[in-house]
Amino acid sequence: MTTNPRAAESWVRIGSSETSPTENKVRAQVFLDSYYVVVGFEVNDPKAFKDDIQDLSVDYGHAFFYLVKNLVIKKSFSFGPNGPGKHGLFNTGRVTTYKKDGRQNGRPATADYSITEPVKAFKISIAAQQAVKLEREIDKIRAQIYAGSVEYSALMNDTCAETAKEVLDDADVETPSGSGWVKHSGMLRFPLVYAANPYKWHKNFKASHSERNFDPGALGEWIPVPGERDPIFGAKK
């Protein structure tokens, strides 16, 4: 049997060729989309978390998250107050500050609360189907917040960690338990409520996930912005 030397040469070079000698079609490289969620925490005062109890009078802490597709932020959620509340029951007291305060009643909220402290962050890889569902849940809660139907209330625990955990749970994104006792020693000496809070949630994350630190100080008041490259896990080395 004789072999066509030209055909043989084509097959020898197939590994480095951009075309197939039999079909003469350009080979296509297939890239699969990569999705993950970053959950971040501002939990920087050890005095605020003792005996697994968070004391709001020392520090509220903060928890937030954002969805990443191919290293670019797609959606974000950072829940916090966006207006003054009042002391007293049923908004009957005097107007107070815009800061987080367990003495205040419910007040307007924002889904874009600024990150101003060093962050401890964790990465959770998710499937495309989960990403689609999480996008839907984020859009829904953001619409409710900016329509005024969801308020920020420390005493009712409509707060950053509790709300973020609920959104992730509704999208079937599994995270560690964030529930623990919370108190406000300026009001009561004993725990006030058992619910998700940043310090407890961070502690449980750290027990099961790798932590990465991020300091937004040089950026000033940082907010995860869709369309920007993930500065924590997507940063170029």
Per residue in 65-76, pLDDT tens? Answer: 999 999 999 999
Task: Look at 21 and 169; give whichever has higher pLDDT.
Answer: 169
In a domain, 229, yes or no: no
For residues 105 and 155, the answer to whether their CB atoms sit within 8 Å is yes
In a domain, 139, yes or no: yes
Domain, as residue range, for 182: 34-219
In a domain, 128, yes or no: yes
Instruction: Count other Cβ atoms within 10 Å, centred on residue 73.
Output: 19
Alpha helices of the chain — where are they, by DSSP H? 5-12, 128-146, 160-170, 198-208
Instruction: Give the position of tokens 């890889």.
Output: 125
Token pair, residue 132, equals 């689609």
User: pTM score > 0.85 for this model?
Assistant: no
In a domain, 157, yes or no: yes
Q: How far is CA 210 from the centre of its chain?
A: 15
Task: Look at 223 and 89; give whichever has higher pLDDT.
Answer: 223
In a domain, 38, yes or no: yes
Least confident of 47-56, 149-158, 210-219: 149-158
For residues 172 and 74, the answer to whether their CB atoms sit within 8 Å is no
In a domain, 143, yes or no: yes
In a domain, 232, yes or no: no
In a domain, 228, yes or no: no
Number of domains in the chain: 1
Which residues neighbour 202 within 8 Å (Cβ) at sequence distance 6 or greater?
A: 41, 43, 61, 63, 120
